[in-house]
Amino acid sequence: MHMPNNFSVNENLGLLFEKLESFIQSKTIFGESLKIGETTLIPVVDVSFGMGSGGGDGSDPKGNGGTGGGAGIGAKATPTALIVIKGDNIEVLPIKKSSGLEKLIEMVPQIVDEVKLHKHVKKEEPSEE
């Protein structure tokens, strides 16, 4: 049975978009949050993609024919920023620029201190009996 060429292309494009939809979700753009003490970190990711699809049919001089189709997709996810939430203070630290990364590195000792304090407070809490 000879299928029209556009059926293969449409089928391939549909499959590509279906797979792309499962790849790009809100968790792809905004990663899962990480809570450290009173600070919440949310990674932000830049996602780009490219895709293509094609199909064709043909026959040889003897009358033997065939159809074919193909599709391809590529995607890239790059971390671009970090959202830092501490109490009512919300900061967006860009990762692409060195200033954001430097600021994040500057915050590491403060975050480590919060984790230590949080663990220390939990140990001192009396157990209810």
Burial class (CB in 10 A: 0-12, 13-18, 19+), 121: exposed
**Tokens, residue 119:** 């663990």
Number of domains in the chain: 1
Does 39 reside within a domain?
yes
| Per-residue pLDDT reduced to its tens digit, 12-66 | 777 777 777 776 665 667 778 889 888 999 998 888 877 777 778 888 899 898 8
What is the residue type of 47?
V
Single pTM value for the model: 0.47
Does 19 reside within a domain?
yes
- Domain span at residue 59? 5-124
Chain mean pLDDT for the chain: 76
pLDDT band per the 50, 70, 90 thresholds, residue 3:
very low
Does 129 reside within a domain?
no
Phi first, then psi, for residue 98 (nearest 5°) are -65, -30
Under DSSP, is residue 38 helix (H, G, I), strand (E, B) or coil? coil
Does 58 reside within a domain?
yes
